[in-house]
Amino acid sequence: MKTIIKTSFLTLSVLLISFLDFKDRYFFDSKIFDREIQNTFFNFESEEDVQKMIEKSFNNPKYKFPRKEVSYCKIYKNQFLISRITSKTLNQKDTKKLVNLLNSSENFDYYETTWDVNESEYLFRFFDKKK
């Protein structure tokens, strides 16, 4: 009986951690962009048109990242299950440096951008300040 309880507990724990990891990895709790942003960036016929729009809008304060004040950032190694256990939390100073880096168009080129979660070595998760 003890073995069944231990095995059940272990199985449920692994399933819960798997679900939470998958949820974080694919942003299930993120809010979908509003219609204006969808229409601005996602209604183009060709990839070149999307690229032009992104490059044109990069320094627009309306689309500055992030749109809310960030309290902290967590870094996850992009490894299923292990990432939640091995995550690191950046301090506020390093979080601000990272936000500044991400907002500088000098650091990025359209074709250097990672579009798929599986292409990334690390995942960054930014947390808003709670009011």
Question: Are 38 and 23 in a shared domain?
Answer: no
49 and 75 part of one domain: no
Q: Residue 129 pLDDT more than 60?
A: yes
Residue 80 has pLDDT above 90, yes or no: no
**Nearest 5°: phi and psi at 96?**
-65, -40
- Look up the domain containing 37 and give its range: 31-63
Q: Are residues 40 and 92 in the same domain?
A: no
* The pLDDT of residue 31: 61
Location of structure tokens 């304060």: 61
The verdict on 69 and 124 lying in the same domain is yes
State the pTM of this model.
Answer: 0.62
Any idea what DSSP says for residue 125?
Answer: E
Q: Count structural domains, the chain.
A: 2
Of 40, 63, 86, the domain-final residue:
63
**Do 26 and 59 share a domain, yes or no?**
no
| Percent composition of the chain: helix, strand, coil (DSSP 3-state, to 5) | 55, 15, 35
